[in-house]
């Protein structure tokens, strides 16, 4: 997406700036086109790469879509380290013939989703109680014969990090994904996880000291 659209905007308040609304509409239309016309090919591309590697590297990938006149699109990877990789050839091929009619001309930075794996992973991560071994759980027979996704890995990772302030573009992107893929409940899960991380106290943190319930006074000093 064109950074100039939102670089001067402040926090998203009501009423939303017209350019933010337009960006949301374009991103929603873009994701709708991908889901309706290319999702099976995208899923197959993720699965193919995972089979070649032997495990799941990612269930989402950053992609740049440059839409020109007439709905023509140019697809490229959204990160330098992904260029000229197995993902580069597989994902760009999966999206190569997609026509972006109804999407305004511009440059959009999005994440393509491995829908089958991401839906299974998000559903599993939020089960109560969780019954997964920390080392990972298999998706064999459901997504890929050799696929494994570590449950502690969340993608994109910084969206789940409460120390990372989401930009306007990222907030709009998450909303667009939720609009087209509502069953993922991505926005709600990101918000809940960020809040959970804000209130968790790591057990190795000793200061300030936390006394046991019912205990009064100052804890004894170490001799």
Q: Which residue would you say has higher pLDDT here, 101 or 177? A: 177
Q: What is the rounded average pLDDT of the residues 170-180?
A: 93
pLDDT-based confidence at 121, cuts 50/70/90?
A: confident
Q: Residue 38 pLDDT more than 90?
A: yes
- Amino acid 64: pLDDT: 95
Q: Which residue would you say has higher pLDDT here, 131 or 52? A: 52
b/e burial code for range 87-114 (CB count within 10 A of at least 16 → b): bbebbeebbeebebeebeebebbbbbbb
pLDDT-based confidence at 191, cuts 50/70/90?
A: confident
pLDDT-based confidence at 194, cuts 50/70/90?
A: confident
- Amino acid 159: pLDDT: 85
Lowest mean pLDDT among 11-25, 145-159, 163-177, 191-205: 145-159
What number of helices (H) and strands (E) belong to the chain? 6, 5
Enumerate the domain spans of the chain.
3-199
DSSP of 37-74, one letter per residue? HTHHHHHHHHHHHHHHHTS---SEEEEEEEE-GGG-EE
Q: Residue 211 pLDDT more than 80?
A: no
Share of the chain above pLDDT 70, in %: 67
pLDDT-based confidence at 190, cuts 50/70/90?
A: confident
Q: Which of 83, 86, 79, 94 is nearest to 157 (CA)?
A: 79
Q: Residue 31 pLDDT more than 80?
A: yes
Q: 89 and 46 in contact (C-beta within 8 Å)?
A: no
């Amino acid at each position: 997406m064109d950074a100039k659209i939102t670089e001067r905007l402040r926090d998203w308040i009501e009423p939303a700036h017209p350019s933010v609304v337009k960006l949301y509409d374009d991103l929603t239309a873009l994701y709708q086109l991908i889901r309706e016309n290319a999702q099976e090919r995208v899923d197959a591309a993720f699965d193919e790469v995972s089979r070649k590697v032997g495990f799941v590297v990612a269930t989402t990938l950053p992609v740049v879509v440059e839409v020109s006149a007439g709905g023509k699109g140019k697809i490229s990877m959204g990160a330098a380290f992904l260029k000229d990789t197995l993902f580069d050839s597989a994902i760009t091929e999966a999206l190569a013939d997609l026509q972006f009619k109804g999407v305004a001309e511009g440059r959009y930075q999005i994440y393509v989703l491995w829908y089958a794996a991401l839906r299974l992973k998000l559903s599993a991560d939020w089960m109560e109680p969780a019954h997964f071994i920390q080392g990972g759980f298999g998706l064999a027979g459901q997504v890929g014969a050799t696929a494994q996704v570590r449950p502690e890995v969340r993608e994109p990772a910084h969206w789940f990090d409460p120390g990372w302030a989401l930009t306007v573009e990222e907030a709009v992107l998450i909303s667009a994904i939720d609009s087209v893929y509502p069953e993922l409940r991505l926005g709600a899960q990101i918000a809940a996880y960020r809040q959970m991380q804000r209130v968790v106290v790591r057990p190795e943190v000793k200061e300030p000291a936390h006394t046991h319930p019912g205990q009064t006074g100052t804890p004894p000093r170490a001799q």
